[in-house]
Amino acid sequence: MKKIAVFTSGGDSPGMNACVRAVVRTGIYHNLDVYSIMYGYDGMIKGNIKKMQSHSVSNILQRGGTILKSARSTEFRTKEGRQKAFEELKKHGIDGLVAVGGDGTFTGAKIFYEEFGIPTVGCPGTIDNDIFGTDYTIGFDTAVNTALEAIDKIRDTAAAHDRIFFIEVMGRDSGYIAIECGIGGGAELVMVPETTTTIHDVVKSLKGLRKSKTSSIVVVAEGDEEGGAADIMEKVKSEFKGEDKEFKVTTLGHIQRGGSPTAKDRILGSRSGMAAVEGLINGKSNCMAGIINDQVVYTPFEECITKSKPLKEEYLRLQELLSI
């Protein structure tokens, strides 16, 4: 292997730049030519590929987002689009790929490898922490800390006015951000896609808490089965008719994706990037470089894509126990 290329795809996450930096500098350390692909699979198809030097990734470790950009590519979902991408890679003599992203990124990489055989190792870049094969994903820790800072501030105003706040965090299919924010922020309730919490349950809990608390925080993962925070608030509010209680909603949205990555995400991104390059050198392919129990583990893309990553039962119990 002489030439490799790195790209970021899907939703951006803090720490992706640390990962790209590690890929470039690890590759150069091992005497490889390292290339970047701008705008993910779309850039691969369009030949948006350039050679990187060590200085190309200077001063990016602390930056959020991704210097390589990200874009959706409907064309890559077609065999013709993937053929164009392969031809562009061959023009540059690319022997291996490092794909930084989540499920969608790894699904595309898996299909691409099966059709054209270019070795690919992935790095788990998503704030949702929903990828099987790694304890944490790049960007998750930063997203939790960003959301937690907002929740702490909302707690101040909730307490000042005796309000009940419903705070929506990201997590369409995973409640990891919500549960960690709930535990870390002292939320009275957390609603996640992995467990069923009915409106009746919420109302019962909030009315029970009124005996000891004048304000409450309910953290809602955007993918909860009862809907988003605004929908849930309206349903709950209707059960408090005639009672002097004020309800508010805050949707944190994309602020969770931005910002300077935490030390944990910078280190995780760096370790994953190094592991991906050294995995390629050692013959690894069609897999993701994750960290489990503080050790690098290579998990086949097939498992990353098809296997679910359940919430820790201890976290669910801890949230329930501490919220009384």
Compute the distance between CA of residue 108 and CA of residue 76 in angstroms, rounded to an integer.
8
For residue 96, which of 127, 119, 64 has the smallest C-alpha distance?
Answer: 119
- Phi, psi torsion values for 262, nearest 5 degrees: -70, 165
Give the pTM.
0.96
Which residue matches tokens 């050692």? 282
Compute the distance between CA of residue 44 and CA of residue 31 in angstroms, rounded to an integer.
23
Residues 145 and 111 sit within 8 Å (Cβ to Cβ): no
Compute the distance between CA of residue 36 and CA of residue 43 in angstroms, rounded to an integer.
10
DSSP 173-203: S--HHHHHHHHHHT-SEEE-TTS---HHHHH
23 bridge partner residues? none
Query: Looking at the annotation, which residues are catalytic?
Result: 128
pLDDT in tens, the chain (324 residues): 999 999 999 999 999 999 999 999 999 999 999 999 999 999 999 999 999 999 999 999 999 999 999 998 999 999 999 999 999 999 999 999 999 999 999 999 999 999 999 999 999 999 999 999 999 999 999 999 999 999 999 999 999 999 999 999 999 999 999 999 999 999 999 999 999 999 999 999 999 887 788 899 999 999 999 999 999 999 999 999 878 889 999 999 999 999 999 999 999 999 999 999 999 999 999 999 999 999 999 999 999 999 999 999 999 999 999 987
